[in-house]
């Protein structure tokens, strides 16, 4: 296959996306595919640019807004018209956050008729909007923590959610702009921080407990993983800096617990109309109840990412995983054309 790997972009998760792109490009070439590397902020990369960008790694903090603003203004529509795209079989989206994951790019690819991996326009948009996603999860009987949308007062939080609470941007990933708020006097600053990353802010009940994740490939739940960190949340730094988190696949759960959280993950995947592959994250409280945190439509594919580790626990190598994701995309594209 001839595969275009799209990564980078201009969201706060740009560094993570570049790291994912580096892994995917390498794996697809190992699997025998013809691959072109594309930074959606700057265009198709030549060999020298590819080597420089794809070895840059993930910094301990996301890039600031000024650095991202300098990359704005790229025209994704021009990418689709580039000569290199004329013979593409499938697009591998190694983008995270922003227009690469919220359905915007998916809509453009749909209009272009180019097959691409992952969820379509609707599923991507719904999963990115945590408020809408949580509403659909409740309708599908997938438990999720109670929440409010800003503006909210400390009295609202105390009455309807309780302390501590999680304050986060409504449409961001990788815990960018997220704060645990323990007392009323911390609420305003946390909301201001979240608003710096999004135009909508969610205030959600904090669920203490074990952090679990379920990779979904096609319509199959892969082995459940558990993330163990010294901090109360699996934040940006612990996610992408080596040695800061312990990730166990399969998680130390009973057979019944494993079946239940995998069932809920598949239920969430279907309720949000996701496709191809996804990763659904949960908290397991002290009473053994599972609470869905969110669904990731384009899970990280870096060396430290959870989805490849879950696949490895199922006996799927990383090159094979990338190949299977591409073939799922082609299969789903053909099914849409038959309708």
| C-alpha count within 13 angstroms, C-beta hemisphere, residue 185 | 0
Tokens of 312: 């490895």
Choice among 281, 283, 310, 323 that is catalytic? 281
Cα 275 → chain centroid = 13
The pair phi, psi for residue 253, each rounded to 5°, is -125, 155
Choice among 100, 225, 300, 310 that is catalytic? 300
Choice among 14, 102, 204, 279 that is catalytic? 279
Is 162 among the catalytic positions? no
Is 46 among the catalytic positions? no
Tokens of 131: 């408020």
Is 13 among the catalytic positions? yes
For 127, residues 6+ apart whose C-beta sits below 8 A from its C-beta are 119, 133, 272, 274, 278, 294, 295, 296, 297
Sign of the CA dihedral 162, 164, 170, 173? negative
Is 236 among the catalytic positions? no
Is 119 among the catalytic positions? no
Choice among 102, 124, 296, 305 that is catalytic? 296
Strand runs labelled E in 206-245: 210-217, 220-221, 225-228
Is 296 among the catalytic positions? yes
Choice among 8, 9, 11, 13 that is catalytic? 13
Choice among 240, 247, 275, 305 that is catalytic? 240
* CA 110 – CA 218 distance, rounded (Å): 20
Is 281 among the catalytic positions? yes
Virtual torsion, Cα 89, 54, 39, 10, nearest 10 deg: 130
Q: Is 7 helix (H, G, I), strand (E, B) or coil?
A: strand
| C-alpha count within 13 angstroms, C-beta hemisphere, residue 79 | 25
Question: What are the DSSP calls for 305-338, one per residue?
Answer: -HHHHHHHHTT--HHHHHHHHHHHHHHHHHHHHH
* CA 176 – CA 58 distance, rounded (Å): 14
How far are the Cα atoms of 3, 94, 146, 147, 281 from residue 268, in angstroms, in the given order?
29, 22, 16, 18, 10
Catalytic residues: 13, 174, 240, 279, 281, 294, 296, 300
């Amino acid at each position: 296959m001839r595969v275009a790997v799209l990564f980078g972009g201009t969201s706060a998760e740009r560094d993570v996306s570049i790291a994912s792109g580096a892994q995917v490009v390498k794996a697809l070439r190992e699997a025998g595919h013809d691959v072109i590397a594309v930074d959606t902020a700057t265009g198709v990369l030549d060999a020298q640019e590819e080597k420089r960008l794809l070895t840059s790694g993930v910094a301990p903090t996301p890039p600031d807004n000024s650095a991202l603003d300098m990359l704005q203004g790229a025209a994704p529509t021009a990418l689709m018209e580039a000569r290199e795209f004329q013979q593409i079989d499938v697009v591998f989206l190694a983008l995270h956050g922003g227009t690469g994951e919220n359905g915007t790019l998916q809509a453009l690819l749909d209009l272009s008729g180019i097959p691409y991996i992952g969820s379509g326009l609707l599923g991507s948009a719904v999963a990115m909007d945590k408020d809408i996603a949580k509403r659909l999860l409740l309708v599908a009987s997938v438990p999720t923590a109670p929440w409010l949308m800003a503006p909210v007062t400390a009295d609202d939080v105390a009455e309807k959610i309780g302390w501590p609470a999680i304050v986060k941007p409504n449409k961001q990933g990788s815990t960018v702009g997220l704060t645990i708020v323990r007392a009323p006097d911390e609420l305003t600053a946390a909301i201001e921080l979240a608003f710096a990353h999004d135009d909508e802010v969610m205030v959600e009940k904090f669920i203490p407990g074990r952090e679990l994740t379920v990779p979904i490939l096609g319509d199959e739940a892969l082995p459940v993983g558990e993330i163990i960190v010294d901090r109360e949340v699996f934040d940006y730094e612990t996610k992408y800096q080596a040695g800061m988190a312990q990730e166990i696949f399969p998680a130390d759960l009973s057979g019944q617990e494993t079946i239940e959280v995998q069932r809920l993950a598949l239920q969430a995947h279907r309720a949000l109309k996701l496709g191809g592959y996804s990763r659904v994250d949960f908290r397991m409280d002290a009473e053994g109840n599972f609470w869905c945190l969110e669904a990731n439509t384009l899970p990280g594919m870096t060396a430290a990412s959870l989805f490849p580790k879950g696949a490895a626990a199922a006996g799927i190598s990383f090159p094979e995983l990338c190949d299977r994701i591409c073939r799922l995309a082609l299969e789903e594209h053909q099914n849409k054309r038959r309708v």
